Amino acid sequence: MKNVLKYHYVNVLDSLKVHLAQLQPYFDKVKKTTFSYLLRLAIVTVLIMVVLWVVKSTWLHFTNRKLFLVSPATFTFETPDWVTDRFIEKIRNIHGLKITYNIFEKDLTKKIADVYEKSSLVSQVASVQRKLPNMIKIKLELRRPIAIVKRKSDEYLIDKECVRLIRDLYKFPEKEGDQIYIVDNSRLKVPGYGEKWNDMSIEEGVNLLNYLKYNKIDELFKIATIDVSHIDRRKKNGRSDIILWTKNGTMIKWGSQPSPENLHELSNYEKLQNLLSVANEEGTDLSNLEYVDVRWKTPIAKRNNIQ
User: Could you tell me if 284 and 165 lie in one domain?
Assistant: yes
Q: What is the DSSP-derived secondary structure letter of residue 288?
A: T
User: What pLDDT score was predicted for residue 104?
Assistant: 87
Greatest CA separation for the chain: 150
H helix or E strand, kind and range, residue 169:
none
133 and 7 in a common domain: no
Same structural domain, 9 and 78: no
Point out the domain boundary residue: 63, 97, 116.
Answer: 63
Both 153 and 278 in one domain: the answer is yes
Say if residue 43 is in the same domain as residue 164.
Answer: no
Tell me, yes or no, whether 46 and 93 share the same domain: no
Q: What is the 3-state secondary structure (H, E, C) of 186-243?
A: CCCCCCCCCCECCCHHHHHHHHHHHHHHHCCHHHHCCEEEEECCCCCCCCCCCCCCEE
- Asked if 132 and 230 sit in the same domain, the reply is no
Q: 281 near 270, Cβ under 8 Å?
A: no
pLDDT at 92: 85
Ranges of the chain whose pLDDT falls below 70: 1-24, 26-30, 58-63, 232-239, 306-307
The pLDDT tens digits for 153-210 are 899 999 999 999 999 999 998 877 788 999 998 888 999 999 999 998 999 999 999 9
Instruction: Say which DSSP state 99 is in.
Output: S
Q: What are phi and psi of 29, to 5 degrees?
A: -65, -45
**Domain region containing 157:** 145-303
CB atoms within 10 A of CB 265: 16
Q: In angstroms, rounded to a whole number, what is the distance separating the alpha carbons of residues 271 and 259?
A: 15
> What are the DSSP E strand ranges found in 38-144?
69-70, 76-77, 101-102, 122-131, 135-142
What burial class does residue 179 get, using C-beta atoms within 10 Å of its C-beta: 0-12 exposed, 13-18 middle, 19+ buried? Answer: middle
Which of 48, 63, 78 is at the close of a domain? 63
Q: How many CA atoms lie within 13 A of 86 on its CB side?
A: 6
Q: Are 161 and 25 members of one domain?
A: no
What pLDDT is recorded for position 65?
74
Taking the CA atoms of 161, 166, 171 and 177 in sequence, report the sign of the dihedral they define.
Answer: positive
The whole-number pLDDT of residue 147 equals 96
- Residue 109's nearest CA partner among 139, 84, 83 is 139
Q: How much is the pLDDT for 175?
A: 73
Q: 191: cis peptide before it, omega within 30°?
A: no
Single residue among 113, 142, 171 that ends a domain in this structure: 142
What domain count does the chain have? Answer: 3
Residue 94 makes CB contacts below 8 A (sequence gap 6+) with 72, 115, 116, 119, 121
pTM of the model: 0.76
CA distances to 38, 248, 257 from 252, in Å: 91, 12, 15
